[in-house]
Structure 1
Amino acid sequence: MSQMHRLYETIRGDILSLTLSPGHAFSERQFEALYGGSRTPIRAALSRLEVDGLVQRDDRGWSVTPLSFQEIEAASEFRAAVEREAVTLACQRARPEEIDGIAEMVVSVTMDMSLDEWHRAGRDFHVELARLSGNLFFVRAVEDVMTRLARARWLEIRSLEGRQRTVTEHMNILDIVRRRDVATAVAAVTEHAQSTQSRHVEALMGNARGAAGLVVVGARK
Protein backbone atom coordinates (compact mmCIF):
# COMPACT_ATOMS: atom_id res chain seq x y z
CA MET A 1 0.00 0.00 0.00
CA SER A 2 1.39 3.41 -0.96
CA GLN A 3 1.95 6.08 1.67
CA MET A 4 -0.73 8.24 0.05
CA HIS A 5 -3.28 5.43 0.17
CA ARG A 6 -2.42 4.63 3.79
CA LEU A 7 -2.80 8.28 4.76
CA TYR A 8 -6.06 8.57 2.84
CA GLU A 9 -7.56 5.53 4.57
CA THR A 10 -6.35 6.61 8.03
CA ILE A 11 -7.54 10.21 7.78
CA ARG A 12 -10.81 9.13 6.17
CA GLY A 13 -11.43 6.69 9.01
CA ASP A 14 -10.79 9.39 11.60
CA ILE A 15 -13.23 11.75 9.85
CA LEU A 16 -15.98 9.16 9.44
CA SER A 17 -15.67 8.02 13.06
CA LEU A 18 -15.77 11.67 14.25
CA THR A 19 -12.29 11.36 15.77
CA LEU A 20 -11.68 14.45 13.66
CA SER A 21 -14.70 16.59 14.40
CA PRO A 22 -16.73 18.34 11.70
CA GLY A 23 -15.38 21.87 11.31
CA HIS A 24 -11.94 20.96 12.70
CA ALA A 25 -9.36 23.29 11.10
CA PHE A 26 -5.86 22.05 10.32
CA SER A 27 -2.83 22.65 8.13
CA GLU A 28 -0.89 20.21 5.98
CA ARG A 29 2.08 20.64 8.32
CA GLN A 30 -0.05 19.66 11.34
CA PHE A 31 -1.21 16.51 9.55
CA GLU A 32 2.38 15.66 8.61
CA ALA A 33 3.20 15.57 12.32
CA LEU A 34 -0.04 13.85 13.33
CA TYR A 35 -0.02 11.09 10.72
CA GLY A 36 3.68 10.74 10.05
CA GLY A 37 3.53 11.52 6.34
CA SER A 38 5.50 13.82 4.08
CA ARG A 39 4.02 16.85 2.34
CA THR A 40 3.35 15.36 -1.11
CA PRO A 41 1.38 12.24 -0.03
CA ILE A 42 -0.49 14.27 2.63
CA ARG A 43 -1.52 16.78 -0.03
CA ALA A 44 -2.55 13.98 -2.43
CA ALA A 45 -4.61 12.27 0.29
CA LEU A 46 -6.35 15.54 1.17
CA SER A 47 -7.14 16.21 -2.48
CA ARG A 48 -8.81 12.80 -2.68
CA LEU A 49 -10.74 13.46 0.54
CA GLU A 50 -11.83 16.79 -0.91
CA VAL A 51 -13.37 14.92 -3.85
CA ASP A 52 -15.16 12.70 -1.31
CA GLY A 53 -16.60 15.84 0.29
CA LEU A 54 -14.96 15.10 3.65
CA VAL A 55 -12.49 18.00 3.78
CA GLN A 56 -12.50 21.48 2.29
CA ARG A 57 -9.97 24.21 1.65
CA ASP A 58 -10.22 27.59 3.26
CA ASP A 59 -8.08 30.74 3.39
CA ARG A 60 -5.86 29.43 6.17
CA GLY A 61 -5.53 25.82 5.10
CA TRP A 62 -8.01 22.97 5.47
CA SER A 63 -10.95 21.96 7.61
CA VAL A 64 -13.10 18.86 8.06
CA THR A 65 -16.34 19.49 6.18
CA PRO A 66 -19.13 20.44 8.61
CA LEU A 67 -22.10 18.12 8.90
CA SER A 68 -25.17 19.42 7.11
CA PHE A 69 -28.81 18.70 7.82
CA GLN A 70 -29.63 19.57 4.24
CA GLU A 71 -27.03 17.16 2.86
CA ILE A 72 -28.22 14.34 5.12
CA GLU A 73 -31.79 14.85 3.98
CA ALA A 74 -30.82 15.07 0.30
CA ALA A 75 -28.55 12.02 0.55
CA SER A 76 -31.27 10.06 2.32
CA GLU A 77 -33.79 10.92 -0.39
CA PHE A 78 -31.32 9.83 -3.07
CA ARG A 79 -30.53 6.63 -1.19
CA ALA A 80 -34.23 5.76 -0.93
CA ALA A 81 -34.75 6.34 -4.65
CA VAL A 82 -31.76 4.19 -5.62
CA GLU A 83 -32.63 1.39 -3.22
CA ARG A 84 -36.25 1.25 -4.41
CA GLU A 85 -35.07 0.54 -7.94
CA ALA A 86 -32.30 -1.80 -6.80
CA VAL A 87 -34.58 -3.90 -4.59
CA THR A 88 -37.12 -4.17 -7.42
CA LEU A 89 -34.48 -5.81 -9.58
CA ALA A 90 -33.18 -7.83 -6.63
CA CYS A 91 -36.59 -9.44 -6.20
CA GLN A 92 -36.45 -10.49 -9.85
CA ARG A 93 -32.79 -11.47 -10.17
CA ALA A 94 -31.27 -12.47 -6.83
CA ARG A 95 -30.33 -16.11 -6.41
CA PRO A 96 -31.36 -17.77 -3.11
CA GLU A 97 -27.74 -18.43 -2.17
CA GLU A 98 -26.90 -14.75 -2.62
CA ILE A 99 -29.72 -13.73 -0.29
CA ASP A 100 -28.62 -16.37 2.21
CA GLY A 101 -25.07 -15.02 2.08
CA ILE A 102 -26.21 -11.53 3.07
CA ALA A 103 -28.44 -12.96 5.80
CA GLU A 104 -25.43 -14.81 7.24
CA MET A 105 -23.51 -11.55 7.22
CA VAL A 106 -26.30 -9.78 9.12
CA VAL A 107 -26.72 -12.45 11.81
CA SER A 108 -22.94 -12.70 12.27
CA VAL A 109 -22.82 -9.28 13.90
CA THR A 110 -23.00 -9.28 17.69
CA MET A 111 -23.88 -6.56 20.15
CA ASP A 112 -20.38 -6.61 21.63
CA MET A 113 -18.65 -5.89 18.33
CA SER A 114 -16.77 -2.61 18.04
CA LEU A 115 -18.58 0.40 16.62
CA ASP A 116 -16.19 0.34 13.68
CA GLU A 117 -17.26 -3.23 12.87
CA TRP A 118 -20.93 -2.29 13.27
CA HIS A 119 -20.50 0.73 11.04
CA ARG A 120 -18.81 -1.34 8.33
CA ALA A 121 -21.41 -4.14 8.57
CA GLY A 122 -24.28 -1.69 8.13
CA ARG A 123 -22.67 -0.16 5.07
CA ASP A 124 -21.88 -3.59 3.61
CA PHE A 125 -25.50 -4.70 3.96
CA HIS A 126 -26.76 -1.86 1.78
CA VAL A 127 -24.00 -2.30 -0.79
CA GLU A 128 -24.64 -6.05 -1.05
CA LEU A 129 -28.40 -5.51 -1.24
CA ALA A 130 -27.78 -3.22 -4.22
CA ARG A 131 -25.49 -5.86 -5.71
CA LEU A 132 -28.43 -8.30 -5.79
CA SER A 133 -29.87 -6.08 -8.54
CA GLY A 134 -27.11 -7.21 -10.89
CA ASN A 135 -26.46 -3.56 -11.80
CA LEU A 136 -23.08 -2.14 -10.78
CA PHE A 137 -24.28 1.44 -11.23
CA PHE A 138 -26.65 0.93 -8.31
CA VAL A 139 -23.81 -0.58 -6.28
CA ARG A 140 -21.55 2.41 -6.89
CA ALA A 141 -24.35 4.86 -6.11
CA VAL A 142 -25.07 3.15 -2.80
CA GLU A 143 -21.35 3.03 -1.92
CA ASP A 144 -21.10 6.77 -2.49
CA VAL A 145 -24.24 7.78 -0.63
CA MET A 146 -23.39 5.58 2.37
CA THR A 147 -20.06 7.40 2.58
CA ARG A 148 -21.93 10.71 2.57
CA LEU A 149 -24.10 9.47 5.45
CA ALA A 150 -21.28 7.76 7.34
CA ARG A 151 -20.72 10.35 10.06
CA ALA A 152 -24.42 10.61 10.88
CA ARG A 153 -24.61 6.79 11.00
CA TRP A 154 -21.80 6.74 13.58
CA LEU A 155 -23.92 8.87 15.90
CA GLU A 156 -26.91 6.54 15.60
CA ILE A 157 -25.16 3.20 16.17
CA ARG A 158 -23.64 4.37 19.43
CA SER A 159 -26.83 3.19 21.13
CA LEU A 160 -27.60 -0.50 21.70
CA GLU A 161 -31.19 0.15 20.68
CA GLY A 162 -30.04 1.58 17.35
CA ARG A 163 -27.91 -1.48 16.60
CA GLN A 164 -30.68 -3.93 17.51
CA ARG A 165 -33.19 -2.07 15.36
CA THR A 166 -30.79 -2.10 12.42
CA VAL A 167 -30.45 -5.90 12.49
CA THR A 168 -34.22 -6.39 12.71
CA GLU A 169 -34.94 -4.07 9.79
CA HIS A 170 -32.20 -5.55 7.61
CA MET A 171 -33.42 -9.12 8.15
CA ASN A 172 -36.99 -8.06 7.39
CA ILE A 173 -35.93 -6.59 4.04
CA LEU A 174 -34.06 -9.78 3.12
CA ASP A 175 -37.05 -11.96 4.02
CA ILE A 176 -39.25 -9.89 1.71
CA VAL A 177 -36.74 -10.10 -1.15
CA ARG A 178 -36.62 -13.86 -0.63
CA ARG A 179 -40.40 -13.96 -1.14
CA ARG A 180 -40.03 -11.93 -4.38
CA ASP A 181 -42.63 -9.46 -3.11
CA VAL A 182 -41.65 -6.34 -5.04
CA ALA A 183 -44.27 -3.95 -3.66
CA THR A 184 -43.58 -4.86 -0.04
CA ALA A 185 -39.81 -4.76 -0.60
CA VAL A 186 -40.04 -1.27 -2.09
CA ALA A 187 -42.17 -0.13 0.84
CA ALA A 188 -39.73 -1.69 3.33
CA VAL A 189 -36.58 -0.05 1.95
CA THR A 190 -38.41 3.27 1.70
CA GLU A 191 -39.54 3.06 5.32
CA HIS A 192 -36.05 1.98 6.41
CA ALA A 193 -34.42 4.93 4.62
CA GLN A 194 -36.95 7.41 5.99
CA SER A 195 -36.76 6.13 9.55
CA THR A 196 -32.96 6.08 9.55
CA GLN A 197 -32.95 9.61 8.17
CA SER A 198 -35.11 10.72 11.09
CA ARG A 199 -32.82 8.97 13.55
CA HIS A 200 -29.73 10.48 11.94
CA VAL A 201 -31.19 13.97 12.26
CA GLU A 202 -32.27 13.32 15.85
CA ALA A 203 -28.80 12.01 16.78
CA LEU A 204 -27.16 14.92 15.02
CA MET A 205 -29.34 17.47 16.79
CA GLY A 206 -28.47 15.96 20.14
CA ASN A 207 -24.76 16.02 19.42
CA ALA A 208 -24.87 19.52 17.93
CA ARG A 209 -26.32 20.76 21.22
CA GLY A 210 -24.06 18.76 23.49
CA ALA A 211 -20.69 18.33 21.75
CA ALA A 212 -18.20 21.16 21.88
CA GLY A 213 -16.60 21.82 18.51
CA LEU A 214 -19.14 19.84 16.50
CA VAL A 215 -19.95 22.11 13.56
CA VAL A 216 -23.34 21.48 11.96
CA VAL A 217 -24.57 23.56 9.04
CA GLY A 218 -28.23 24.52 9.23
CA ALA A 219 -28.55 23.16 12.78
CA ARG A 220 -32.13 23.36 14.02
CA LYS A 221 -33.25 24.93 17.23
Structure 2
Amino acid sequence: MTSPSATLAYQQLRESILGVDLLPGEVLTEARLGERLQTSRTTVRGALARLENEGLIRKTGRSFIVAPIDLREIEEAFAFRSVLEVGALRLAFPTVTPERLAWVRDRASEFGDDTSIGDHMDRATRFHVDLAGLSGNRLIVRSLEDVLLRLARARWLEARGDGGLARSHADHLHLLDLVAARQEDAAATHLHAHIQRSCSRLVQALRDDRRGLGLRGLAVHT
Protein backbone atom coordinates (compact mmCIF):
# COMPACT_ATOMS: atom_id res chain seq x y z
CA MET A 1 0.00 0.00 0.00
CA THR A 2 1.28 3.48 -0.92
CA SER A 3 1.99 5.66 2.11
CA PRO A 4 0.26 9.05 2.50
CA SER A 5 3.62 10.83 2.27
CA ALA A 6 4.49 9.06 -0.99
CA THR A 7 1.09 9.92 -2.44
CA LEU A 8 1.52 13.58 -1.45
CA ALA A 9 5.01 13.72 -2.98
CA TYR A 10 3.69 12.20 -6.20
CA GLN A 11 0.80 14.68 -6.37
CA GLN A 12 3.09 17.67 -5.74
CA LEU A 13 5.62 16.60 -8.37
CA ARG A 14 2.95 15.74 -10.90
CA GLU A 15 1.31 19.16 -10.49
CA SER A 16 4.71 20.85 -10.89
CA ILE A 17 5.34 18.95 -14.13
CA LEU A 18 1.87 19.49 -15.54
CA GLY A 19 1.97 23.17 -14.64
CA VAL A 20 5.46 23.45 -16.22
CA ASP A 21 7.04 24.61 -12.97
CA LEU A 22 9.44 21.74 -13.61
CA LEU A 23 10.51 22.29 -17.21
CA PRO A 24 10.72 19.60 -19.92
CA GLY A 25 14.30 18.37 -20.05
CA GLU A 26 15.03 19.48 -16.46
CA VAL A 27 17.19 17.03 -14.47
CA LEU A 28 15.60 15.58 -11.35
CA THR A 29 17.59 13.98 -8.54
CA GLU A 30 16.27 12.26 -5.44
CA ALA A 31 18.39 14.47 -3.18
CA ARG A 32 17.21 17.77 -4.69
CA LEU A 33 13.58 16.69 -4.79
CA GLY A 34 13.80 15.45 -1.20
CA GLU A 35 14.94 18.93 -0.15
CA ARG A 36 12.23 20.58 -2.27
CA LEU A 37 9.47 18.44 -0.78
CA GLN A 38 10.98 18.10 2.70
CA THR A 39 10.74 14.33 2.57
CA SER A 40 12.96 11.24 2.36
CA ARG A 41 14.67 9.86 -0.72
CA THR A 42 12.65 6.67 -0.35
CA THR A 43 9.43 8.65 -0.59
CA VAL A 44 10.73 10.57 -3.61
CA ARG A 45 11.81 7.30 -5.26
CA GLY A 46 8.27 5.94 -5.05
CA ALA A 47 6.82 9.14 -6.52
CA LEU A 48 9.33 9.09 -9.39
CA ALA A 49 8.43 5.49 -10.22
CA ARG A 50 4.77 6.49 -10.65
CA LEU A 51 5.66 9.50 -12.77
CA GLU A 52 7.91 7.39 -14.99
CA ASN A 53 5.05 4.95 -15.52
CA GLU A 54 2.88 7.85 -16.68
CA GLY A 55 5.52 8.99 -19.16
CA LEU A 56 6.03 12.34 -17.44
CA ILE A 57 9.69 11.65 -16.58
CA ARG A 58 12.44 9.49 -18.06
CA LYS A 59 15.40 7.68 -16.49
CA THR A 60 18.85 8.89 -17.60
CA GLY A 61 21.68 7.11 -15.84
CA ARG A 62 21.31 7.64 -12.10
CA SER A 63 18.85 10.51 -12.38
CA PHE A 64 15.64 11.41 -14.19
CA ILE A 65 14.63 14.19 -16.54
CA VAL A 66 11.23 15.72 -17.11
CA ALA A 67 10.08 14.19 -20.40
CA PRO A 68 10.36 16.55 -23.40
CA ILE A 69 7.20 17.59 -25.21
CA ASP A 70 7.06 15.40 -28.31
CA LEU A 71 4.77 16.90 -30.96
CA ARG A 72 4.67 13.75 -33.07
CA GLU A 73 3.74 11.64 -30.03
CA ILE A 74 1.01 14.14 -29.13
CA GLU A 75 -0.51 13.91 -32.62
CA GLU A 76 -0.36 10.11 -32.55
CA ALA A 77 -1.93 9.97 -29.10
CA PHE A 78 -4.79 12.24 -30.13
CA ALA A 79 -5.41 10.07 -33.21
CA PHE A 80 -5.51 7.00 -30.97
CA ARG A 81 -7.93 8.80 -28.65
CA SER A 82 -10.27 9.50 -31.52
CA VAL A 83 -10.32 5.86 -32.61
CA LEU A 84 -10.97 4.68 -29.05
CA GLU A 85 -13.59 7.25 -28.11
CA VAL A 86 -15.60 7.26 -31.32
CA GLY A 87 -15.59 3.47 -31.33
CA ALA A 88 -16.74 3.36 -27.71
CA LEU A 89 -19.49 5.88 -28.43
CA ARG A 90 -20.88 3.78 -31.27
CA LEU A 91 -20.75 0.66 -29.08
CA ALA A 92 -22.75 2.48 -26.41
CA PHE A 93 -25.64 3.56 -28.63
CA PRO A 94 -27.66 0.29 -28.62
CA THR A 95 -27.79 0.10 -24.81
CA VAL A 96 -27.34 3.60 -23.39
CA THR A 97 -30.21 4.77 -21.17
CA PRO A 98 -31.44 8.27 -20.26
CA GLU A 99 -30.49 7.56 -16.64
CA ARG A 100 -26.88 6.79 -17.53
CA LEU A 101 -26.66 9.90 -19.72
CA ALA A 102 -28.05 12.01 -16.89
CA TRP A 103 -25.39 10.59 -14.57
CA VAL A 104 -22.62 11.54 -17.00
CA ARG A 105 -24.10 15.04 -17.44
CA ASP A 106 -24.38 15.60 -13.68
CA ARG A 107 -20.75 14.61 -13.12
CA ALA A 108 -19.65 16.87 -15.98
CA SER A 109 -21.36 19.88 -14.38
CA GLU A 110 -20.16 19.61 -10.79
CA PHE A 111 -17.69 22.50 -10.85
CA GLY A 112 -18.33 26.23 -11.13
CA ASP A 113 -16.60 29.17 -12.78
CA ASP A 114 -14.19 29.58 -9.85
CA THR A 115 -12.89 26.03 -10.12
CA SER A 116 -9.12 25.66 -10.63
CA ILE A 117 -7.61 24.57 -13.93
CA GLY A 118 -6.54 21.32 -12.31
CA ASP A 119 -10.08 20.51 -11.19
CA HIS A 120 -11.46 21.43 -14.60
CA MET A 121 -8.92 19.13 -16.22
CA ASP A 122 -9.94 16.33 -13.86
CA ARG A 123 -13.57 16.91 -14.80
CA ALA A 124 -12.80 16.85 -18.53
CA THR A 125 -10.80 13.65 -18.16
CA ARG A 126 -13.57 12.06 -16.14
CA PHE A 127 -16.13 13.06 -18.76
CA HIS A 128 -14.28 11.28 -21.54
CA VAL A 129 -13.71 8.19 -19.39
CA ASP A 130 -17.38 8.17 -18.27
CA LEU A 131 -18.52 8.49 -21.87
CA ALA A 132 -16.30 5.60 -22.98
CA GLY A 133 -17.60 3.60 -20.02
CA LEU A 134 -21.10 3.68 -21.48
CA SER A 135 -19.82 1.13 -24.01
CA GLY A 136 -19.38 -1.45 -21.28
CA ASN A 137 -15.96 -2.32 -22.74
CA ARG A 138 -13.41 -2.28 -19.93
CA LEU A 139 -10.39 -2.67 -22.22
CA ILE A 140 -11.33 0.48 -24.14
CA VAL A 141 -11.76 2.37 -20.88
CA ARG A 142 -8.36 1.25 -19.55
CA SER A 143 -6.68 2.13 -22.85
CA LEU A 144 -8.28 5.57 -22.84
CA GLU A 145 -7.22 6.20 -19.24
CA ASP A 146 -3.65 5.35 -20.22
CA VAL A 147 -3.51 7.64 -23.25
CA LEU A 148 -5.15 10.50 -21.30
CA LEU A 149 -2.45 10.15 -18.65
CA ARG A 150 0.21 10.43 -21.32
CA LEU A 151 -1.49 13.53 -22.74
CA ALA A 152 -2.06 15.14 -19.35
CA ARG A 153 0.66 17.79 -19.64
CA ALA A 154 -0.26 18.65 -23.23
CA ARG A 155 -3.93 18.98 -22.30
CA TRP A 156 -3.00 21.11 -19.28
CA LEU A 157 -1.07 23.52 -21.52
CA GLU A 158 -4.03 23.72 -23.89
CA ALA A 159 -6.46 24.37 -21.02
CA ARG A 160 -4.39 27.37 -19.92
CA GLY A 161 -5.14 29.01 -23.27
CA ASP A 162 -7.82 31.66 -23.61
CA GLY A 163 -11.34 30.20 -23.52
CA GLY A 164 -10.24 26.58 -23.87
CA LEU A 165 -12.07 25.32 -20.80
CA ALA A 166 -15.38 26.95 -21.70
CA ARG A 167 -15.26 25.65 -25.28
CA SER A 168 -14.47 22.15 -24.09
CA HIS A 169 -17.33 22.09 -21.59
CA ALA A 170 -19.82 23.39 -24.17
CA ASP A 171 -18.66 20.66 -26.58
CA HIS A 172 -19.24 18.00 -23.93
CA LEU A 173 -22.79 19.13 -23.20
CA HIS A 174 -23.67 19.36 -26.90
CA LEU A 175 -22.34 15.85 -27.43
CA LEU A 176 -24.62 14.53 -24.68
CA ASP A 177 -27.56 16.31 -26.35
CA LEU A 178 -26.80 14.49 -29.60
CA VAL A 179 -26.59 11.13 -27.84
CA ALA A 180 -29.87 11.79 -26.01
CA ALA A 181 -31.49 12.61 -29.37
CA ARG A 182 -30.23 9.25 -30.73
CA GLN A 183 -28.20 10.95 -33.47
CA GLU A 184 -25.36 8.45 -33.63
CA ASP A 185 -23.57 9.69 -36.75
CA ALA A 186 -23.81 13.33 -35.68
CA ALA A 187 -22.53 12.47 -32.19
CA ALA A 188 -19.61 10.48 -33.59
CA THR A 189 -18.71 13.30 -35.99
CA HIS A 190 -18.93 15.88 -33.19
CA LEU A 191 -16.72 13.84 -30.85
CA HIS A 192 -14.09 13.29 -33.54
CA ALA A 193 -14.08 17.01 -34.39
CA HIS A 194 -13.85 17.93 -30.68
CA ILE A 195 -10.73 15.78 -30.25
CA GLN A 196 -9.17 17.05 -33.49
CA ARG A 197 -9.76 20.70 -32.56
CA SER A 198 -8.11 20.13 -29.22
CA CYS A 199 -5.09 18.52 -30.87
CA SER A 200 -4.81 21.20 -33.56
CA ARG A 201 -4.97 24.10 -31.08
CA LEU A 202 -2.26 22.63 -28.91
CA VAL A 203 0.13 21.49 -31.63
CA GLN A 204 -0.15 24.75 -33.55
CA ALA A 205 0.50 26.80 -30.42
CA LEU A 206 3.60 24.76 -29.60
CA ARG A 207 4.88 24.95 -33.19
CA ASP A 208 4.31 28.70 -33.38
CA ASP A 209 6.17 29.28 -30.11
CA ARG A 210 8.88 26.63 -30.53
CA ARG A 211 11.70 29.18 -30.43
CA GLY A 212 10.30 30.90 -27.35
CA LEU A 213 9.71 27.59 -25.62
CA GLY A 214 13.27 26.53 -26.34
CA LEU A 215 14.68 29.78 -24.94
CA ARG A 216 12.74 29.20 -21.72
CA GLY A 217 14.21 25.72 -21.42
CA LEU A 218 11.35 23.62 -22.80
CA ALA A 219 12.51 20.76 -24.99
CA VAL A 220 9.96 20.42 -27.78
CA HIS A 221 10.65 17.40 -29.99
CA THR A 222 9.21 17.21 -33.51
**TM-score (normalizing by structure 2):** 0.90
My pick for the range that moved more, 100-109 or 168-177, is 100-109
Whole-Å separation in 2 of the counterparts to 1:43 and 1:194: 36
CA apart distance, 1:60:
5.7
User: Gaps (5+ residues) in structure 1?
Assistant: none
Which residue is equivalent to 1:217? 221
Which residue is equivalent to 1:174? 176
Which residue is equivalent to 2:197? 195
Whole-Å separation in 1 of the counterparts to 2:210 and 2:116: 24
Q: Give the ranges of 4+ consecutive aligned residues of structure 1 lying more than 4 Å apart after TM superposition.
A: none
Structure 1 contact 123–146 (Cα < 8 Å) conserved: yes
Which residue is equivalent to 1:50? 52
Which residue is equivalent to 2:119? 117
**Structure 1 residue matching 2:76: 3-state secondary structure:** helix
Q: How does 1:78-89 map to 2 (within 5 A)?
A: 78-89=80-91
State percent identity of aligned pairs: 37
CA apart distance, 1:53:
1.0
Q: What is the one-letter code of the residue matched to 2:98?
A: P
CA separation of 1:207/1:140 partners in 2, compared to 1, >3 Å: closer, same or farther? farther
Whole-Å separation in 2 of the counterparts to 1:130 and 1:45: 29
1:90 aligns with 2:92: yes
User: How many residues were matched structurally?
Assistant: 218
Match of 2:144 among 126, 142, 145: 142
Whole-Å separation in 2 of the counterparts to 1:44 and 1:159: 32
Whole-Å separation in 2 of the counterparts to 1:139 and 1:88: 14
CA apart distance, 1:206:
4.6
1:68 aligns with 2:57: no
CA apart distance, 1:69:
0.2
Over residues 166-218 of structure 1, what are the superposed CA-to-partner deviations in whole Å (9 max), with x where a residue is unaligned?
11211111111112222222211111111111011123235543341111111
Which residue is equivalent to 1:99? 101
> Considering only aligned residues, what root-mean-square deviation do their CA atoms show, in Å?
1.8
**TM-score (normalizing by structure 1):** 0.90
